[in-house]
């Protein structure tokens, strides 16, 4: 028994030495000697301050830039907020406080983060309140549903941020990790302010999602920073002694010490000696946050799987349509929707045709769809809506005394009235009307599809208002308005690196050509990168695009504008626009 205890003791001693050797190697790899550890400790202590005017200006400006970038749906503007956000400094200070058990530093860091959060969020609320519109953009939506992937990103970011800070660099101690990690801090805080600013149930839902993402990044970065500082062995006696001397001569530190001494429990716990307790202080919030994150991830995975299944089913249904109807003269598929309600699989098909579909054709289509998705025919509901395209589709009039207006004449009247009325029709900016399509039937129903150019979708409430306006202008109470957006954002040209070759069958190029062919009022601006020493590459790429657009696809040259730029952010991209 004694030999077993001795063997266990020796094993534990051996593992302890290995752990210490690893920590020494880690500190050596980062060039973190006693002087560097002391300087790092003092620098992070200074960063957790309430008296630095520049810091608070950075909080305000980064919050303002992030909020406006979110509202404008501009990733470039949001990146600007990332570059100046100073929130990384107090978060690292909080991680250092947990690693060393320093209550004084912990109180300073928490106070700084609390005030910073309130200030950034409050400024965002004020900005949103001053804006004349409150459209939920893609950049906002992307930060309202955090999941466990965001937690992993924050953990990795916190680790690399702390490591980068430990290495001695010139300039502000948080400059390197601030650039790398601020992406996960200030934009979500702007989303919280946006949600509170617009109010309502939708606003609070947005604020909850952005707040959860902000807390996730805050806690995760603090946790990994704590682990890095523990590995660094920053709580050496020489470091503590040097920090104590600095605090004795620092007025703000003395103010915080006096405040802590007034609180009995904090005064008794000037240092938290138990590493287990300190670890629990960050692991418990992390575990609480993990619950909604895992639920969101499960929901996201289920949505992705459902989307995949829906796409597969749509392909099967489309194949059934092609096998049944597509070869039928003067028939064209306009809309296809599928939904699995559990009891029945519902298929909605809207098609243009010069005549009604027979019951045999409908039954054949239903049987083919049922077979393609492994369902019984009675478990499938197919709703086939036919939009007539000629007078043959108009039903015979029951009242012989009245002569009905031929469908062709009705269509001509509707199109002329539409053209006259829509000449002054305005969409909410920044949307611009590109084109429209009109489809009608003898039953008095009219479908109007508007294609518009914009960087973001038109909101649902604006869509309803536009439909009411269109019905009033056209005097068509049964009109159904559909809005289809064409993106005006810059899109990458698929050039091979350092070559004039590009993928002509890529999705971007196929979409570009098909859009220009379908909408004659659109033009395209091609922005090619031209830097010093790359004039030949610029000319080669321009020539390749000339051949692709004008020769292979026969597009008019006056619809294509070539521009050169030395900005790599927009170089080798294209942008659609309406030529005045």
3-state SS track over 354-372: CCCCCHHHHHHHHHHHHHH
Name the pLDDT band for 339 (thresholds 50, 70, 90).
confident
Note the pLDDT of residue 512. Answer: 85
Domain spanning 307-393: which superfamily?
Answer: Cation efflux protein, cytoplasmic domain (3.30.70.1350)
Contact 176, 165 (CB under 8 A): yes
Quote the CA–CA distance of 412 and 246 in Å, as a whole number. 86
CA 449 to chain centre: 28
Contacts of 410 (CB under 8 A, 6+ apart): 440, 442
Overall size of the chain counted in residues: 580
What's the CATH architecture for 407-485? Answer: 2-Layer Sandwich (3.30)
Name the pLDDT band for 114 (thresholds 50, 70, 90).
very high
Quote the CA–CA distance of 356 and 333 in Å, as a whole number. 14
Note the pLDDT of residue 177. Answer: 47
DSSP tag of 405:
P
pLDDT, average across residues 365-390: 76
Note the pLDDT of residue 65. Answer: 92
Contact 58, 86 (CB under 8 A): yes
pLDDT tens for 404-453 read 545 555 556 556 666 666 666 677 777 888 888 877 655 567 778 888 88
Quote the CA–CA distance of 112 and 203 in Å, as a whole number. 27
Residue 264, SS3 per DSSP: helix
Q: Which of 163-172, 189-198, 254-263, 456-465 has the highest mean pLDDT?
A: 189-198
CA-to-CA separations, 517 to 30, 436, 508, 524, 540, in angstroms, rounded? 58, 14, 14, 12, 25
DSSP tag of 49:
-
First to last CA, the chain: 94
Is residue 576 pLDDT above 50, yes or no? yes
Report the greatest alpha carbon distance in the chain: 116
Arithmetic mean of pLDDT over the chain: 79
Q: Starting at the edge strand that comes first in sequence, how are the strands of the sheet with 345-353 ordered?
A: 331-340, 345-353, 380-388
3-state SS track over 514-553: HHHHHCCCEEEEEEEECCCCCHHHHHHHHHHHHHHHHHHC
Contact 69, 83 (CB under 8 A): no
Q: Residue 525 is inside which H or E element, if any?
A: strand 522-529
Note the pLDDT of residue 109. Answer: 92
Contact 370, 376 (CB under 8 A): yes
Note the pLDDT of residue 291. Answer: 93
Is residue 544 pLDDT above 60, yes or no? yes
CA-to-CA separations, 504 to 244, 495, 548, in angstroms, rounded? 67, 9, 8
Is residue 475 pLDDT above 90, yes or no? no
Q: Which of 122-126, 430-434, 504-508 has the highest mean pLDDT?
A: 122-126
pLDDT tens for 400-409 read 444 454 555 5
Contact 461, 494 (CB under 8 A): no
Looking at the domain that runs over 491-578, which CATH code has it been given?
3.30.1330.60
Quote the CA–CA distance of 64 and 78 in Å, as a whole number. 10
């Amino acid at each position: 028994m004694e030999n077993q205890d001795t063997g266990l003791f020796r094993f534990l001693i051996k593992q302890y030495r290995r752990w210490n050797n690893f920590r020494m190697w880690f500190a050596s790899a980062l060039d973190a000697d006693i002087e560097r550890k002391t300087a790092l400790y003092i620098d992070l202590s200074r960063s957790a301050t309430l008296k630095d005017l520049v810091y608070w200006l950075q909080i305000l400006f980064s919050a303002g830039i992030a909020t406006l970038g979110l509202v404008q749906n501009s990733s470039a503007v949001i990146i600007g907020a990332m570059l100046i956000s100073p929130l990384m400094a107090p978060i690292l200070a909080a991680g250092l406080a947990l690693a060393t058990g320093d209550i004084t530093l912990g109180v300073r860091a928490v106070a700084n983060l609390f005030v910073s959060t309130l200030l950034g969020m409050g400024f965002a609320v004020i900005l949103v309140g001053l804006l004349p519109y409150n459209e939920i953009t893609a950049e906002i939506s992307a930060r309202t549903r955090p999941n466990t992937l965001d937690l992993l990103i924050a953990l990795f970011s916190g680790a690399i941020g702390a490591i980068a800070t430990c290495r001695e660099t010139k300039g502000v101690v948080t400059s390197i990790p601030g650039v790398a990690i601020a992406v996960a801090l200030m934009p979500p805080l702007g989303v919280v302010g946006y949600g509170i600013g617009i109010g309502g149930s939708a606003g609070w839902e947005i604020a909850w999602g952005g707040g959860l993402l902000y807390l996730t990044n805050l806690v995760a970065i603090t946790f990994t920073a704590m682990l890095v500082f523990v590995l660094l062995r920053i709580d050496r006696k020489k470091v503590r002694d040097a920090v104590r001397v600095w605090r004795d001569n620092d007025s703000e530190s003395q103010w915080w010490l006096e405040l802590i001494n007034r609180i009995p429990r904090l005064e008794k716990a000037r240092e938290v000696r138990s590493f287990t307790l300190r670890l629990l202080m960050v692991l418990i919030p992390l575990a609480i946050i993990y619950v909604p994150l895992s639920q969101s991830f499960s929901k996201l995975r289920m949505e992705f799987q459902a989307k995949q299944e829906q796409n597969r089913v749509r392909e099967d249904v489309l194949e059934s349509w092609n096998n049944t109807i597509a070869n039928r003269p003067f028939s064209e598929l306009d809309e296809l929707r599928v939904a699995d309600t559990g009891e029945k699989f519902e298929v909605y098909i809207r098609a243009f045709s010069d005549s009604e579909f027979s019951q045999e054709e409908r039954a054949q289509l239903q049987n083919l769809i049922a077979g393609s998705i492994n369902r019984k025919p009675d478990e499938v509901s197919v709703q086939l809506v036919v939009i007539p395209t000629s007078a043959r589709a108009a039903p015979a009039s029951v009242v012989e005394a009245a002569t009905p207006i031929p469908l062709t004449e009705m269509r001509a009247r509707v199109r002329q009235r539409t053209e006259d009325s829509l000449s002054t029709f305005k969409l909410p900016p920044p949307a611009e009307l590109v084109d429209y399509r009109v489809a009608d039937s003898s039953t008095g129903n009219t479908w109007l599809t508007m294609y518009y150019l914009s960087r973001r979708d038109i909101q649902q409430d604006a869509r309803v208002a536009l439909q009411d306006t269109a019905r009033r202008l056209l005097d068509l109470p049964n009109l159904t308005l559909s809005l289809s957006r064409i993106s005006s954002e810059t899109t990458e040209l698929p050039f091979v690196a350092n070559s004039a070759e590009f993928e002509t069958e890529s999705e971007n190029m196929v979409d570009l050509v098909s859009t220009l062919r379908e909408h004659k009022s659109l033009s395209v601006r091609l922005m090619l990168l031209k830097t010093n020493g790359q004039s030949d590459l610029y000319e080669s790429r321009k020539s390749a695009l000339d051949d692709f657009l004008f020769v292979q696809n026969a597009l008019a040259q006056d619809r294509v504008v070539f521009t050169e730029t030395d900005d790599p952010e927009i170089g080798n991209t294209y942008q659609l626009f309406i030529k005045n």
